[in-house]
A = this chain, B = another copy of it.
């Protein structure tokens, strides 16, 4: 804040600007951009926008000195042609380049390029969740060995600050759980199904038309994209290694308008959640659609917005909300990391925060997790069927909170059961029994309830 008299303030402001001007000449930090797709173009635009401000904000000026692209011939409006190169070696050998910004995505060649850059003593910013979720520790160790920064705020929840808040702002807490809507495509689809009564296919088609969903939407709708983000969030929140393969993943393809209607009937909404919990020293990490009470802060996160809900032993409930994808939101997160590096270069403290995984906690199998469960079944509509179902549940030790039965034509009925909170394995046992029962035609869906 600037709480002094005007003359004094103006004098200092002027000084600061002269200082900034001076620095602009003296200490320009050169950066290379690997990739000029959506995010890359966003980063390039932001650097241009912020040129005047950066010296005042960081004490340093930033210059994008080289941009690695595949196709040198492609027209790239607004980008100075002489910056383009198709040779990473050229960037690697340029000792003036202190920051490498990787926005090509995928494992290779991104991994090799980042490793080479780190070993060459260059700081790296990446938005690459696949790479961090798979090889984060190896990369972070290499960064530490060479006393440089490897930052990846943009790899989870796009523009929403969440990696740095977990590493710094909530560092005085023992994090108990992290629950996030970290995939905008599926949140958009579920929002349309809930608010406009679309069925899944229609909502997916709409998402594809709007560019929210890829031509092949598998990674989004099957929860793989969210799973990678959960692995990263869990590792940072609990200071212990969690990889994508440790994460139990369910998508939203089984959700129908019937489930949406029952959610509404019970005062819930269905959201695809990435969940990481520290259960007494065991880590639970999963992605699945969940019945969430309407008054939960995550329930009102609509359309393609993301949000991460964090519970700490000191801070209590806290939530971070915003755009999980898109050119400029993602570029905003990349720029935040770039500014951190500029400030670190100025103070000579690159590598200030490295890998924070100093624990080795076991994973908790999904069968041992405890929830209420929503089970929707198609059954034969005759006396005794409901008794049979509730009897089976009782045998398996599953108590029932609620039962709804709706009769259809051709003597079929739909039975929906909400169980009391219980370990998942007992519900699974009951479902195995149901599958063997001649009077239960179909187990239409099973959802966990918050």
A-side residues, CB < 8 A to B, are: 1-4, 9-10, 12-13, 16-17, 20, 42, 46, 49-50, 53, 56-58, 132-138, 140-141, 153, 159-161, 164-165, 168-174, 231-232, 235-236, 239-243, 295, 297, 300, 302, 305, 312-323, 326, 328-329, 331-336, 338-340, 343-344, 347-349, 351-353, 355-360
A317: which of B1, B13, B317, B323 is its contact (CB, 8 Å)? B323
User: Most chain-B CB neighbours within 10 Å: which of A161, A164, A328, A359?
Assistant: A161
Q: A164-B168, A164-B169, A316-B322 are in contact. List 13 more A-B contacts (CB 8 A).
A: A1-B137, A1-B355, A2-B136, A3-B135, A171-B335, A171-B336, A172-B338, A315-B332, A317-B323, A318-B321, A343-B352, A344-B349, A347-B349
Q: Can you list 14 A-B pairs, Cβ within 8 angstroms, ordered by A?
A: A1-B232, A3-B137, A3-B138, A46-B172, A49-B314, A57-B239, A161-B169, A165-B169, A173-B335, A314-B329, A315-B328, A320-B321, A321-B321, A344-B352
**Is B168 touching A336 in the complex (CB atoms < 8 A)?**
yes
A360 vs B168: C-alpha distance when bound (angstroms)? 30
User: How many subunits of this chain does the assembly comprise?
Assistant: 2
A336 vs B13: C-alpha distance when bound (angstroms)? 29
**Is A297 touching B321 in the complex (CB atoms < 8 A)?**
yes
Give the residues in chain B near A322, CB-CB below 8 Å.
Answer: 315-319
Give the residues in chain B near A16, CB-CB below 8 Å.
Answer: 358
Give the residues in chain B near A134, CB-CB below 8 Å.
Answer: 3
A329 vs B322: C-alpha distance when bound (angstroms)? 22
Give the residues in chain B near A331, CB-CB below 8 Å.
Answer: 172, 314
Give the residues in chain B near A232, CB-CB below 8 Å.
Answer: 1
Give the residues in chain B near A161, CB-CB below 8 Å.
Answer: 161, 165, 169-170, 318
**Is B320 touching A320 in the complex (CB atoms < 8 A)?**
yes
**Min CB–CB distance A231 → chain B (angstroms):** 7
**Is A42 touching B3 in the complex (CB atoms < 8 A)?**
no
Give the residues in chain B near A360, CB-CB below 8 Å.
Answer: 2, 9-10, 13
A297 vs B313: C-alpha distance when bound (angstroms)? 25
Contacts A1-B132, A359-B13; is A316 near B323 (CB within 8 Å)? yes
